Amino acid sequence: MSDTQNGNVNTFTPVEANASEVDPVVAAFEAGRLIVYPTEAVMGIGCDPDNEAAVNALLDIKQRPVEKGVILIAANYSQLLPYVDDNAIRPDRRTDIFSSWPGPNTWLLPKSSSAPVWLTGKHSKIAVRVTNHPVVVALCNKLGKPLVSTSANLTGQPPATDTDEAKTVFADSVYYVEGKVGGATKPSTIRDGDTAEVIRA
């Protein structure tokens, strides 16, 4: 299915999450656009993690300080390796971490030396997860990298649960990927990779 125009609002509907159909949204990412797309529980908004200007634009729209860091979501763990120090993950924690993926489980793992500060903020760890949502998997595989991801809402407001809700918030300032959210009832659990402490239930 081709890229469509609804007034001034850019939308794209993947066909069965076919990676070959994602080219228009990839072009939007490469242009530094913010993208709204379905995730496991709510609509997410994200961008290219290696594009500092795009990440800063996302932080601005979310009113989120860069010091807090952001979450990366990926189609597989190998996409996260440029940002995670795999050798620094405790051996006794690896099974717990990797057996929880793919799924709505975010882990704080040691950041790599090349992880940009605009992703990690003031922290020594980076928040990452491997998703099983077919639309996000298709996007990540087409890009060959993870996506910065946060809930599609303004600070203090509930996250959008479909594209129409997101459009009432962001209008034509972002690019939209059509699709349904998954069956999760709340955003991903966040846990510390070293201690398994639950940061967000």
Domain extent listing, the chain: 4-200
Pairing state of beta strands 189-192 and 105-110? parallel
**What number does CATH give the domain 4-200?**
3.90.870.10
Closest CA to 131 of 65, 64, 186, 76: 76
Per-residue pLDDT of 132-173, as tens digits, reads: 999 999 999 988 999 999 999 988 899 999 999 999 999 999
Confidence class for position 201, pLDDT limits 50, 70, 90: low
Can you tell me the mean pLDDT for 6-24?
Answer: 50
The answer to whether 163 touches 178, Cβ cutoff 8 Å, is yes
Can you tell me the mean pLDDT for 45-74?
Answer: 94
At 50 the three-state DSSP class reads coil
The answer to whether 42 touches 181, Cβ cutoff 8 Å, is yes
Task: State the first-to-last Cα distance of the chain, in angstroms, to the nearest integer.
Answer: 37
Q: What is the pLDDT of residue 63?
A: 85
